[in-house]
Amino acid sequence: MIQRASLYKAILHAARLGVSRSAPFRYLRNWLRLPGLSPDPSANLSIEGTIEYGHETAISEGCNIIVPPNATLRLGNGCHIGRYVELGPSGVIEIGENTSIQDRSILVGDVFLGRNCMLSLNVLMTSGVHYYDRWPHLLIRDQDRMVFADPKHAVQHSQPITIEEDCWIGVNAVVMPGVTVGRGCVVGSNAVVTCDLPPYSVAAGVPARIIKQRLSFAPPKSIEWRDEKQYPYFYSGFELAQSEREKNYREGGHIARGRFALWLDCSGAKEICLTVRSLKGEKLVLQHGSVCVQLFDDWHDCRFPVEAGSEPAWFLTGEKKGIVIREARVE
């Protein structure tokens, strides 16, 4: 009787496992749980935390997406996640709009990718490490366990990785914990990035070293939306892809939503002045530091004090409401 009961349980478990791994079942489950996302049925999605995603986001064959409790995965509009990619946030992984991650890349921990980035094959980014020298006489595995068991050490374990907009990370590249790769950077194949890279750098090697500049990044005192050579200084959060610019041209400026940044030469200046309006008549509040300005759908100048050491200058509209910026300058 015991053998029959065990056999029955084994058959039942196998049947459940077979159903749960079948493509039709996974497709139906994902369609019900994640409407509008429709990942490939072969993708393994274990979502206990929070997942946020935009439209036209693709998750390809064999991906392993694991979001534990209290963790968040954010996928912007038009993201492409290639085959057999692994995404495993411990805090937050955020992937910006129109960013693509190619096959077999792995992002673990706290990782932030900006808009319009391209990650090649087999890229590795993890914000945590193993510990071998805290208590060097102990096993590495035991040192890891002791770090996680101590709240003081555990809170310092994850060192977020930031890849800013318009970056290209080459095949087999590794980006180490705590590194910020500035806007517009190119990282060569097989490189290991161990320190921050300034905007528009081209870096290669182990460890990665800057070998040239993609362009001379020299923030001016003023920028104007029609000058394409000034696009780099509309630094973050702007809709600057060609298709977006063509669609938004009639608005008379560059559009940003939610959080965005401008990079100007603020040396000797007291104020940042923006010529702005809200998009589509939305009533919103524009914030920089502690200063808030009410915006409407007519053009007007907003002034904000220059904050020492705050380059680039970050602004917030809240709730991803749209703002149109025609000009920015310092005075």
| Residue 46 and residue 93 in one domain | yes
> Could you give the C-alpha distances from 146 to 132, 152, 178, in angstroms and in order?
12, 11, 21
Per-residue pLDDT, 205:
97
**pLDDT at 297 exceeding the cut of 90:** no
> Position of tokens 């000797």?
268
Amino acid, single-letter form, for residue 177? P
* 3 domain residue, yes or no: no
From 192, 213, 234, give the residue that closes a domain.
Answer: 213
* 109 domain residue, yes or no: yes
Per-residue pLDDT, 304:
94
* 6 domain residue, yes or no: no
H-assigned helices in 173-266? 242-248
Lowest-confidence region among 225-229, 252-256, 292-296, 301-305: 292-296
| Residue 172 and residue 42 in one domain | yes
- The length of the chain in residues reads 331
| Residue 116 and residue 169 in one domain | yes
| Residue 196 and residue 260 in one domain | no
Q: What is the DSSP letter of 308?
A: T
* 14 domain residue, yes or no: no
> Angle, to 10 degrees, between the axis of helix 23-33 and the axis of helix 2-20?
60
Per-residue pLDDT, 157:
86
Q: Taking the model in full, what pTM does it have?
A: 0.87
- Cα 174–chain centre separation: 16
pLDDT tens digits for 163-175?
Answer: 999 999 999 999 9
Amino acid, single-letter form, for residue 47? I
| Residue 178 and residue 235 in one domain | no
**pLDDT at 160 exceeding the cut of 70:** yes
| Residue 170 and residue 238 in one domain | no
* 10 domain residue, yes or no: no
Q: What is the CATH number of the domain that holds 97?
A: 2.160.10.10
- Number of domains observed in the structure of the chain: 2
| Residue 245 and residue 306 in one domain | yes
Amino acid, single-letter form, for residue 122? N
Q: What is the DSSP letter of 128?
A: -
| Cα Rg of the chain, angstroms | 23
Q: Which helix (H) or strand (E) element contains residue 259?
A: strand 254-262
Map residue 152 onto helix, strand or coil: helix
| Residue 67 and residue 28 in one domain | yes
The catalytic position among 13, 55, 80, 130 is 130
Per-residue pLDDT, 2:
55
pLDDT tens digits for 7-43?
Answer: 666 666 555 555 455 666 666 666 667 787 878 989 9
| Residue 315 and residue 244 in one domain | yes
* 54 domain residue, yes or no: yes
| Residue 150 and residue 173 in one domain | yes
Domain residues for 208? Answer: 22-213
Please indicate whether residue 13 is annotated as part of the active site. Answer: no
pLDDT tens digits for 219-230?
Answer: 999 999 999 999
pLDDT tens digits for 267-289?
Answer: 888 999 999 999 887 788 999 98
Per-residue pLDDT, 14:
57
Per-residue pLDDT, 15:
56
From 213, 240, 256, give the residue that closes a domain.
Answer: 213
| Residue 201 and residue 226 in one domain | no
> Among residues of the chain, what percentage have pLDDT more than 90?
74
> Could you give the C-alpha distances from 288 to 143, 253, 318, in angstroms and in order?
43, 20, 12
* 7 domain residue, yes or no: no
Per-residue pLDDT, 4:
64
Amino acid, single-letter form, for residue 15? A
Q: What is the CATH number of the domain that holds 237?
A: 2.60.120
Q: Which residue has the higher pLDDT, 306 or 200?
A: 200
Distance, in Å, from the CA atom of 107 to the CA atom of 112, rounded to the nearest integer, reads 10
| Residue 194 and residue 244 in one domain | no
pLDDT tens digits for 187-216?
Answer: 999 999 999 999 999 999 999 999 999 999
* 32 domain residue, yes or no: yes
**pLDDT at 243 exceeding the cut of 60:** yes
Per-residue pLDDT, 281:
74
The token pair at 128 is 């945590």
